[in-house]
């Protein structure tokens, strides 16, 4: 883990400032400082069994408050990517589905296309009619577009996604 992060986990002395400042800590099974502690103790699978990295909003409040400059957001991202690759949801099944739907719509359209995101997310999460009643009102108020707008060069975006799949680390974390 430390090699991937480029920052030693031993820098954390468990002051708890990260958890005290985290706006999402109240929804986490274990707060950020406990996740760091699991990793310090070599309990990687225990850290992966928590929902904390899925709930993390990557706001960097934890990193800003850390007196030792531990990159907690980066740690959460490493855990999230590894869990996603392994198919681990930690009880947060809709979150990985949203993550996958978001990336797919960007890959397909070169930008975020909200109706496509909602449809794909609902399909992947098995919640087919979630937010269904909100769509007409949003459409008529001009908040949802029927067709995706022109984004970046779609071919270039697809090349980026293809490159990221080919260059992604294949080994265990």
| Residue listed under structure tokens 């274990």 | 30
Residue 150: pLDDT band with limits 50, 70, 90? low
Q: What pLDDT, on a 0 to 100 scale, did the predictor assign at position 61?
A: 93
d(CA 170, CA 115): 33
More confident residue, 135 or 75: 75
Above 70 in pLDDT, residue 138? yes
Domain ranges of the chain: 2-86, 94-167
Whether the Cβ atoms of residue 56 and residue 73 lie closer than 8 Å to each other: yes
SS (H, E, C) 83-125: HHHHCCCCCCCHHHHHHHHHHHHHHHHCCCCHHHHHHHHHHHH
Give one word for 3, left, alpha or beta, with left for phi > 0 and alpha for psi -120 to 50. Answer: alpha
Average pLDDT of the chain, as a whole number: 82
pLDDT digits (tens, 9 = 90+) for 68-93: 999 999 999 899 888 888 888 766 66
Q: What would the mean pLDDT of 93-120 be, rounded to a whole number?
A: 81
């Amino acid at each position: 883990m430390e090699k991937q992060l480029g920052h030693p986990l031993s820098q954390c002395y468990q002051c708890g400032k990260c958890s005290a400042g985290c706006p999402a800590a109240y929804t986490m099974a274990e707060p950020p400082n406990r996740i760091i502690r699991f990793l310090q103790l070599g309990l990687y699978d225990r850290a992966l069994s928590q929902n904390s990295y899925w709930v993390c909003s990557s706001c960097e409040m934890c990193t800003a408050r850390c007196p030792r400059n531990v990159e907690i957001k980066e740690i959460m991202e490493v855990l999230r990517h590894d869990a996603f690759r392994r198919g681990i949801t930690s009880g947060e099944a809709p979150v990985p589905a949203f993550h996958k739907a978001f990336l797919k719509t960007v890959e397909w359209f070169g930008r975020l296309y909200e109706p496509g995101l909602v449809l794909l997310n609902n399909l992947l999460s098995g919640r087919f009619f979630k937010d269904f009643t909100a769509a007409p009102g949003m459409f008529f108020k001009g908040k949802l577009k029927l067709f995706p707008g022109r984004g970046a060069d779609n071919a270039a975006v697809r090349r980026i996604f293809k490159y990221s799949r080919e260059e992604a680390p294949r080994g265990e974390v």
